[in-house]
Structure 1
Amino acid sequence: MHKLFPISLHFFHNHRLFQTLTFSSNPLLAQTIPRMELHTTSYPVDKRLPLAERMKQYESSFDFTLPVNSPVLLRLDGHGFSRFTSHFCRPFDQRIHDAMISTCVDLLHFFPQATVAYTQSDEITLVFPFGVQSFNKRVQKLSSLSASLCSVRFNAHLTAFLGANPEPKVKESAYEKLGTACFDARFFAVPSAEEALNCLLWRCRNDAVRNAVGAFARTMFSTKEMHGKKTTELLEMMEREKGVKFEESVPKWAVEGCLMKREQFEHEGVNLKTGETEKTFRTRTRVEERGVRIFSEENLRLVTEKYWP
């Protein structure tokens, strides 16, 4: 039967905590861990307050909020995805990409103030040109909800896509990994819509192209051959040594990523009260297989306007 380990705690006035743990559940295994020095930090909380109120004040000390009316971006990144995707088709698995697209649609639905979503590789970026008003703009609340929603929806979509499209086949271990993908999330503000657009340019021109070229090159060259090579050098190696032109050999979404944005469309239906046919406008999400590679007025409108033009 397991026993609890007795722990002796000694507090000193200088706010340093010394902890000694003695394992005594089995005399043969009894030992004392060397004394560890832990540091505490002084917080401006009145210790005479009731326990629940003190704990809430400790929590609120780290509950930062986003600025009012500043453009905000949300970036979600797959955690350990190079290991996760190694069980699927290389260099690009359409089902993983489709799951990312569907997850972006879910995020746009969850955050109606976001105007555009961009995904490349294992990453998603959402733009809020007029800030985030949900959940009192609390960064911890927004980040934790975003990461959990993204993880849950991606796993659900990937499981569905793999079940509906078992070909091309994946490793048996891929099925064991289903449901284990997770994402981290970060919210941050930028001073202008122009800088929000620059963030998309950064993710597309820098990371999307580099990630895609690297993934594709690994199917042709060894780690040793690729070591220390820049993206331009890898592209030259492909063409010179393998006769392969990168952008002609991979799907466009693998090169630039994809953009998602709401659009309005005309719908014809019957008015249940009058029985007459009427035309109305509805909203849906449209996906385009392209990224943001130039700074332009058109792309600035992409960031600031609610619907596709």
Structure 2
Amino acid sequence: MNNMKEYEIYSDMKVPLSSTIILRLDGRGFHTISKNLNLKRPYDEVFSFSMAKTAEYIFKEFSPLFIYTFSDELNILLKEIPFNGRIEKLNSVFPSFASSSLTLNLNESLDEKITLPISFDSRIIPISDIVSYFKWRQNEAWRNHVNGYGYWALRKTLSKHEATSKLNGLSSGNIHQLLFEKGINLNDFPLWQKRGIAIYKKKQHNNKNLNNENNNKSNKYSNNNKHEIFTDLNLEIFNNEFFESIFGKYF
């Protein structure tokens, strides 16, 4: 009998261990899950903070450099690549870990329990210009913010098709004006909705954890008890200075 192991022809595909990669996870079918759980639109605080908590779990398990999340998306920056860089492992373990973590987090926070499976897809992105990548994703978070409030404001009086058609071709400025005329000022909403949420390591004396937990002395994930995982709900606009403040002269 032939060695069946020989049929695992993709199992040896690896990311070069000297490279820097971003693993981007995107929620699959989250529109249906959101409707099933009756989440608030366009933003549900419980869901968004559960995504941030999921990112914290990933950070503790795999020690990435940085995670950025908005909507149903997780962007995981890895320099020390686990699983010896095996692509099959990276593209299976990370999304399955995220799926189970998010399920646990939502079930802890919601009265309505999840009855549909949660899943993420995954892609590996070799990266050299980290700043440009995260600026691109943060710009997407801002577009989602503007369009999301525009769409759901219109849905109060228009059908799904009518609201989508009305938004087509409108600039961000036009949508701002449309919302303002309906009594909605985007400046009134929290920064995490506009700019997303980031998880990274920060010196303890500056820490304001999402859960306000004071675990400075016992945090086994800290670096010699000098840094701990920090969930940033008030992000700056991404630029070189922001990332240098986290990584030093990493770039």
Count of paired positions:
225
Match of 1:116 among 60, 63, 66: 66
Separation in 2, partners of 1:305, 1:162: 42
Separation in 1, partners of 2:8, 2:107: 36
Query: Could you say which structure has the greater relative contact order, defined with CA pairs below 8 angstroms and 6 or more residues apart?
Result: 2
Q: Structure 1: 5+ residue runs without aligned partners? A: 1-49, 164-174, 270-279
Structure with the higher strand share, 1 or 2: 1
Separation in 2, partners of 1:234, 1:89: 20
Cα 1:268–1:58 shift into 2, 3 Å: closer
The secondary structure found in structure 1 opposite 2:201 is strand
For 1:14, the equivalent position in structure 2 comes to none
Give the superposition deviation at 1:76: 0.9
5 Å-filtered alignment, 1:2-81, equals 50-51=1-2, 53=3, 55-61=4-10, 63-81=12-30
For 2:130, the equivalent position in structure 1 comes to 196
For 1:287, the equivalent position in structure 2 comes to 231
For 2:76, the equivalent position in structure 1 comes to 126
For 2:213, the equivalent position in structure 1 comes to none
Give the superposition deviation at 1:264: 4.3
Separation in 2, partners of 1:215, 1:298: 27
Give the superposition deviation at 1:292: 5.6
User: Which of structure 1's runs of 4+ aligned residues deviate more than 6 A?
Assistant: none
Separation in 2, partners of 1:268, 1:149: 27
The C-alpha deviation readout for 1:278-297, integer Å capped at 9, x for no partner, is xx836531111144634223
Give the superposition deviation at 1:62: 5.8
Cα 1:105–1:141 shift into 2, 3 Å: same
Structure with the higher helix share, 1 or 2: 2
- 2:196 aligned with 1:257, yes or no? yes
Separation in 2, partners of 1:100, 1:268: 26
The C-alpha deviation readout for 1:244-283, integer Å capped at 9, x for no partner, is 22122x22211111111123437569xxxxxxxxxx8365
After TM superposition, the score normalised by the length of structure 2 is 0.79
For 1:237, the equivalent position in structure 2 comes to 178
Cα RMSD (Å) = 2.5
Cα 1:251–1:197 shift into 2, 3 Å: same
Larger Rg: 1
After TM superposition, the score normalised by the length of structure 1 is 0.65
